[in-house]
Amino acid sequence: MATRDEGFALLEELAPALLAEPDVGFGRMFGSEGLSVRGKFFAFVSSQGDLVVKLDADRIEESGLDNMVMRGRPMREWAVVPVGEGVDRWREVAREAYEFVDSITPR
């Protein structure tokens, strides 16, 4: 089972490129550190160490990802990328999540 520390290590590896984008910052969401654009979160590490990202609901299905489940309910626009998929997959999906949230967040 992955640990949260493993997830944070992967997030730290991919974060610099995203933090270089305009209006991207680090903050807290759901009790975890994560990345946001103009205050809207797009990626964070779950308590199990997986990456959780905000994507268009249709894109989640197309990507073969599972929805994040909170209090027994699947969250429509939040997907889980298992820590075992590695930093390259995390980097790819986190970039897509950034682009999605950036496109729907007012400037």
In this predicted structure, the answer to whether residue 1 has a pLDDT above a threshold of 80 is no
pTM of the model: 0.94
Fold of 4-104: Aspartate Aminotransferase, domain 1 (3.90.1150)
AA identity, residue 70: M
* pLDDT for res 32: 85
CA distance 75 to 68: 6
In this predicted structure, the answer to whether residue 3 has a pLDDT above a threshold of 90 is no
CA distance 58 to 38: 24
**Are 14 and 55 contacting, i.e. CB atoms less than 8 angstroms apart?**
no
pLDDT tens digits, residue range 12-25?
999 999 999 999 99
* pLDDT for res 2: 60
Span 76-98, average pLDDT: 97
Domain ranges of the chain: 4-104
Span 19-39, average pLDDT: 92
* pLDDT for res 30: 73
